[in-house]
Amino acid sequence: MPIYQRLAETLRSTIVDQKWRPGDRLPSEKELAAQYSVAPGTARQAISQLTEEGILVRRHGSGTFVRKPTFDASLFRFFRFQDKEGEREIPESRILSREVIPAPAVVSKALELEPESLVISVSRLRLLSGEPVIAEEVWLDHARFEAFMVMDEDDIGPLLYPVYDSHFDQIVASAKECLTVEVAGSFYSRLLHITPAAPVIVIERLALGFNGRPIEWRRSRGRADRFQYHIDIH
C-alpha cells in the first residue's frame, strides 16, 4: 500500500476513534508530515483522499476539518417542508411504536448482522403543522442501541442522528439512498391521510459511520404531493 494510503488509513482510524470529531480542525499538512515522518506531499495526498471520500472538508483560508454532516439535507432535497412564511421547517416527530424483534432478512443484510439478530424496530410519523407527511420505519442493532428502547420521546426529538452521537457514540458520516415510487396500501393511506392507491415516494437509506460500518437502516414513505427533487450540480 502506498505511503499516502497508509497515512490516510491512520487518519481515518483517528476519526473513527473520535480523537477528532466532526467539526474539528486538523493539523496543517506540514504539521501532519512532521508528526508522521512523511513528506508534505504525502500528507497532502492522504488528506485529498479522505476529502474525496467525504470524510474531510477543506475550507479556503481556514484549513481542513472533519466533515460535519447536515442531518436534514435529505429531507429538503426530496420534500417541500416550509412554514407559512416560506422558511424551511423540520417536521416534528411522533414515535408510534418501539419494539425488539428478530431482524427480517432485508434488515440483517443491510445492517450486516447475523440472521435474526435482535434489532430495534421504530415506527415514526413526521408531521408539519399537524399534517402527516412522512411515515418511517427505522431499524437499529439492539446490541448497540439497547438504551434507545427506554429513552423518553422528548429527549429523542425530531432528528435521530444527533441522538446516536450524544447517547451512543455512533456518528453518522455518510449514507446511501435509494428512491422509488409505490402505491400506498390501506395502512399508509390512513396514516398519511391520503386517498387509497395514491402514490408515495419511498426512500431507503443506509446510514454509515466513518469506518463504513452500518449504523441505521430506514425506509421512509412520503406523500407525493410534498415531493420535490433538488440537487446542485457543479
pLDDT in tens, 202-211: 999 999 998 8
79 compared with 76, residue with greater pLDDT:
79
Is pTM, for the whole model, over 0.85?
no
pLDDT score for 53? 86
Residue 9's φ and ψ, nearest 5 degrees, are: -65, -35
Confidence band, pLDDT 50/70/90 cuts, at residue 73 = low
**Spatial contact of 127 and 91, defined as CB atoms under 8 Å apart:** yes
Q: Is the predicted pLDDT of residue 74 greater than 90, yes or no?
A: no
| Element spanning 88, H or E | none
**Spatial contact of 140 and 155, defined as CB atoms under 8 Å apart:** no
Domains and CATH numbers, the chain: 3-66 (1.10.10.10), 73-226 (3.40.1410.10)
Strands 56-59 and 131-141 come out as: unpaired
Residue 135, C-alpha cell as written in the block: 411515515
182 Cβ neighbours under 8 A, 6+ residues apart: 199, 200, 202, 221
Mean pLDDT of the residues in the chain: 90
Q: Length of the chain, please? A: 234
Q: Is the predicted pLDDT of residue 82 greater than 80, yes or no?
A: no
pLDDT above 70 as % of the chain: 94
C-alpha to C-alpha distance for 26 and 43, rounded to whole angstroms = 12
CB atoms within 10 A of CB 145: 21
Q: What is the pLDDT of residues 148-184, one digit of tens each?
A: 999 999 899 888 999 999 999 999 988 899 999 999 9
